[in-house]
Amino acid sequence: MAQENEVMWTEKYRPSSLDDVVNQKDIIKMLGALLVSPSTMPHLLFAGPPGTGKTTVALCAAQKILGQTWRNNILELNASDERGIQMIRERVKNFSRMATGRLSGLSINVVILDECDQMTSDAQTALRRIMEVSSRNSRFILIANYSGKIIEPIQSRCAIFRFLPLKRDDVAQYLQEISHKEGVKLLDDGLNAITTFANGDLRRAINTLQAASAMEKAVDERAVNQFLGEIDKSDIKKMINKALEGDFRGARETLFSLMFNKGLSGSEIIRQIHRQILVLDVPEDVRIELIRVLGEYDFRLLEGANEDIQLSAFLAQVVKFCRRV
């Protein structure tokens, strides 16, 4: 049974070649022209949202350029775990200057740094120098969600590829293929719920499918929402409508019920408010203002502010705005 399989499906169904990568055809085509031989491969920077295939493409590119012995000639690190200058000076510097590639008949090694936008500025400065002096022995593939957090000297040394969120149809097709292979009954409403939640993140979609299939024999919308901790949309809609009508106390009571009776975190409530605002039957200028205000309070929560106070303040802002219009 699929639910008895302890293997992460994101690893089990990771594409093994560049041709199998979903929805990044332009990038794959350009990489094909660059990866003709080790001498034609530049340093690479893959940037884009999570779950769009950056790490997979990096591994497939290393396999293509290094051949069968590729596992012995790459250094793969998650820079968010080891993001200081010490890691760069020790592990990366030593590996990039070694001739392990030549010992196995190859001319280069490949260093893959995932989440490198989380590296400190000092570590990035050290990495810049290492990339420069070790270019005869090594090629670097840097992976980041936000390329703007990578210092300019590193960006100028790399060919930059920007990954796009996966199309909904591509995510749905991939999930259907997995469910068929795993013997999972994936219903249409369950598929729609997963693709909506994933929002172009294939890794998140696959993980949701695997978890939901372990809980229920048939993966429908109810099973997906049960795993995600989703609540009845009417509760969020009720809270927003009360705020729009000027009933701050009523909206706040609904908020407290969501937080303390149903156990939702502030970030989950923000995410679901965002979804409801997009479909609310309100004038467009009101919708725009609500999204603007919501974005401000989402940032505050990400910075560690108190969830109760900030969400109450958001509702107060909505009430105040609607009394002006």
User: What dotted CATH number matches 233-324?
Assistant: 1.20.272.10
Number of other residues whose CB lies within 10 A of the CB of residue 1: 10
The token pair at 36 is: 């003709």
Nearest residue to 58 (alpha-carbon basis) of 104, 15, 98 = 15
At 84, which amino acid appears? G
pLDDT at residue 186 in the model: 92
Angle between helix axes 307-324 and 248-256 (nearest 10 degrees) is 150
Nearest residue to 197 (alpha-carbon basis) of 272, 106, 287 = 272
Report yes or no: 166 and 202 within 8 Å, Cβ to Cβ: yes
Spatial separation of the C-alpha atoms in residues 322 and 247, rounded to whole Å: 11
Spatial separation of the C-alpha atoms in residues 131 and 243, rounded to whole Å: 54
One fold for 24-162 and 168-228 = no
pLDDT at residue 236 in the model: 86
Mean pLDDT by 10 residues, the chain (325 residues): 61 84 85 82 92 91 85 78 68 70 62 87 86 85 91 92 90 92 90 89 91 85 78 80 90 87 81 87 88 92 89 91 70
Q: Where are the domains of the chain?
A: 24-162, 168-228, 233-324
- The CATH class of the 168-228 domain is mainly alpha
pLDDT at residue 160 in the model: 93
Nearest residue to 196 (alpha-carbon basis) of 258, 262, 276, 265 = 276
* Fold of the CATH domain 24-162: Rossmann fold (3.40.50)
Interacting residues of 248 by C-beta distance below 8 A, sequence separation 6+ = 242, 315, 316, 319
pLDDT at residue 81 in the model: 59
